[in-house]
Structure 1
Amino acid sequence: MMPKVSDEAVAAYDAVAAGLEAAGVVRGSMFGMPCLKIGKKVLAGMFGDAMTFKLPPEPRERALALEGVEQFDPGMGRPMKEWVEIPLDRSAVWAEYAAEALEYVAR
């Protein structure tokens, strides 16, 4: 079951999505959650009041060093190796990690 999403999280997610539109990023859905895609590749998503990002090793480790950030587990009991979940209280860095994810996924 998907966690509830606050209006504040939706607004922060929308701001990140709008900032990536010029790069060709579009909104979509993956496993019932809103996501951001470049072509057919997913680079970020929204999970409850957090954003998830697909990141290469160095930015992923930097993100995981932030308080409250963890590997993304969509509820199957097994974290996704390349993905991190950054909570709403760290939304100031969402755009930075979205840009890192775009660069990584668009290769």
Structure 2
Amino acid sequence: MAAPEMTKPTDDGRAKFDVLVEELSAELDVQRASMFGMPSIKRRGGKAFAGLYGDDMVFKLDGPAHAEALSLEGAHLFEPMAGRPMKAWVQVPPAHEQRWLELAKAAEQALG
């Protein structure tokens, strides 16, 4: 059985991701990475905390930030394989891109 086809980002989605990485890099020691085959952001020498899935961003969150992200219209638990949601990861559509920087910072902090 073939692996499910991953949602690929559009040029616009990739551009928004690049802007987010630049904004985060101005404040935090982060770097680009690849996680599950998607463009991701991780703490330098550490773990990934955000990624671009299609044109949506996914963030590894906990506590109030997790609940707040899930409450955004269209947001849901990240489920790269059907029937296997990743409970800590929230997928947030580009309709909320103005919140992505705040969510990325919360995800980076949640790494401890």
Q: Which of the five TM-score ranges fits, normalised by the shorter chain?
A: over 0.9
Matched, 1:19 2:6: no
Correspondences of 1:42-53 after superposition (within 5 Å):
42-53=48-59
After the TM superposition, list the runs of 4 or more consecutive aligned residues in structure 1 that deviate by more than 3 angstroms: none
Unaligned runs of 5+ in 1: none
Report the number of matched residues: 106
Q: In percent, how many aligned pairs have the same letter?
A: 42
Q: Identify which of 51, 75, 83 aligns with 1:69.
A: 75
Q: Could you report, residue by residue, the CA deviation over 1:1-36 in whole angstroms, capped at 9, with x for unpaired residues?
A: 111311221111111111122411000101111110
Aligned amino acid, residue 30 of structure 1:
M
Question: How far apart are the structure 1 equivalents of 2:81 and 2:95?
Answer: 21
Offset at residue 40 of structure 1 (A): 2.5
Question: How far apart are the structure 2 equivalents of 1:92 and 1:21?
Answer: 17
Question: How far apart are the structure 2 equivalents of 1:11 and 1:92?
Answer: 14
Q: Identify which of 59, 63, 70 aligns with 2:65.
A: 59
Q: Tell me, what secondary structure is at the counterpart of 2:87?
A: coil
Question: How far apart are the structure 1 equivalents of 2:65 and 2:109?
Answer: 11
Partner of 2:8: 4
Q: Tell me, what secondary structure is at the counterpart of 1:81?
A: strand
Query: RMSD between aligned alpha carbons?
Result: 1.1
Aligned amino acid, residue 19 of structure 1:
E
Structure with max Cα Rg: 2
Question: How far apart are the structure 2 equivalents of 1:36 and 1:76?
Answer: 24
